[in-house]
Amino acid sequence: MLSPQAVVDHMMQNDLFSQWLGISVLDIKEGYSNIQMTVRKEMINGFGIVHGGIAFSLADSAFAFACNNRNNLSVALDTAINFIKPVHVGDVLTAEAKELHNGKSTGLYHITITNQNNHVMAMFKGTCYRTGKALVEGGESK
């Protein structure tokens, strides 16, 4: 059986967009992830603040790392994000994913995005569908 950390290591190695975002993985547990990135200038939108797609992408990576780490390949079905405060270049964003439901066929996760001052910047929720296939071959799924 692969550990949750080993599954996420495998995912992160192939995840070129999370690499472009500059994501570092802080903590992985079964059904849980905590990740971080620093916002760069090329991530701003037409208002000079950070593009909503950046916070979403960070949260979506945290969601994927949490919902897949039992090595049961799971795909995002339905996700939503609420934007609470504007994010600026240089901000250090942390996304913590918590599992609200771990069903056989589906799962539900809440991801909270905070900045370096521990202010909540955005709240994400995601529903995934579990395929029942192994994500990393050779490591049976839980």
List residues binding a copy of itself (CB under 8 A): 10-21, 41-48, 50-54, 56-58, 60-61, 64, 68, 73, 75-84, 86, 100-101, 103, 105-106, 108, 110, 120, 123, 125, 127, 129, 135
Q: How far is the CB of 1 from a copy of itself (least distance, A)?
A: 19
Cite the beta strand spans of 2-136 per DSSP E: 24-29, 32-38, 72-83, 92-102, 106-114, 120-134
- Our CB check for a copy of itself shows the closer of 34 and 57 to be 57
Q: How far is the CB of 105 from a copy of itself (least distance, A)?
A: 6
Q: How far is the CB of 38 from a copy of itself (least distance, A)?
A: 15
